Amino acid sequence: MPHTSLLLSLCVTLGSPDAATPASNLSELASIKYHLNPLAVEGAATLGMLAEEDEPAPATPAATDGRRIPAYGLEGDRRWHIHGGYGGSVQDKDDTFLLIGVGFDQFIADGLSLGLELNAMSFNQEIEDTEGLNACLMLRWHFIRQRRWTMFLDAGAGLLVSLNDVPAQGSSLNFTPQAGLGFTFDLGDDIRLLTGMRWHHTSNANLYRDNPGRDSFMGYVGVSFPF
C-alpha cells in the first residue's frame, strides 16, 4: 500500500500544472527508485519461494525388504530340483531306504504342477540289501501360496527296478505309489527350499507269485530352481 500511494502521488505531481523543475523531478525519481528497489527484491524472493513450492518433490522408492520375491507357481513356469530322502518300513523297522534324485516340474495351472522324478535308491533290508533305480510321475498342488512360502499336497506313482528283491522275498520289479504333504520356502533369487513327508508304497501288483509289499514313511529335503 505505501508503494501504491507513492506511485499515485508521482502521477499527480508530474501531471499537475505546478510541476516542479526538472532537477526536482529527477530528485523525486531517484527517491522513488530507492523505495521501489526493495519492492522488486521482495517480489522476486516471493516468486522464487512459490516456484520452489510448486516444484514436485523427487520420487522416493517404495519401502521394500531389499529384494523382489516373484509370484511362485504360475501357469507355464518350469522348475527343476535335486532332493534326498530317508524312509523306514511300517511293517519292519529294520527295512529302510535312502534316495537321491532329480526332478522336473511343469506348472499346468497356477499352483498345480506335473513332475517327473528320477531317483537312485539304496535299500537296507533284514535279509539282503540292494540298490535300484526309480522313475515316478508326481502331481503337486500348492493349495497355499504366499510370496515367501507355499504348502502343497502331492501324489503319484512310479516304477522301481532293483538288483535284488524289494522287499526281501518279493520281486526286483515294483510299482511305487506315494502321496504326501510338504512346503517350499523362499531362499532368494527364485530359489526354493523343498521339504515334506510321504507315504511310500512298494508292491509288484501281483505280477509275481509273491507280493509281500511294503509301506514306508519317507522324509525328504531338496532345492528347487527355475529354468
Give 10-residue mean pLDDT values along the chain (227 residues).
48 47 51 50 50 50 55 95 97 91 98 98 93 98 96 98 93 97 96 98 93 95 97
Query: Same domain for 82 and 22?
Result: no
Q: Which is nearest to 105 in space by CA: 136, 138, 83, 146?
A: 138
37: in domain: yes
Q: Which domain holds residue 184?
A: 78-226
Number of domains making up the chain? 2
Query: Same domain for 25 and 96?
Result: no
Helices in 98-138 by DSSP H: which ranges?
none
pLDDT of res. 24? 53
Question: pTM above the 0.75 mark?
Answer: no
CA distance 52 to 41: 17
pLDDT of res. 27? 54
pLDDT of res. 67? 60
pLDDT of res. 168? 86
Q: What single-letter amino acid sits at 151? A: M
Query: Same domain for 12 and 109?
Result: no
pLDDT of res. 12? 45
pLDDT of res. 19? 45
Query: Same domain for 101 and 48?
Result: no
Query: Same domain for 24 and 133?
Result: no
Q: Which is nearest to 31 in space by CA: 4, 10, 45, 8?
A: 10
Query: Same domain for 49 and 85?
Result: no
| Contact by Cβ (8 Å): 173, 205 | no
CA distance 30 to 17: 21
Query: Same domain for 131 and 214?
Result: yes
Written as nine digits, the cell of 82 is: 535335486
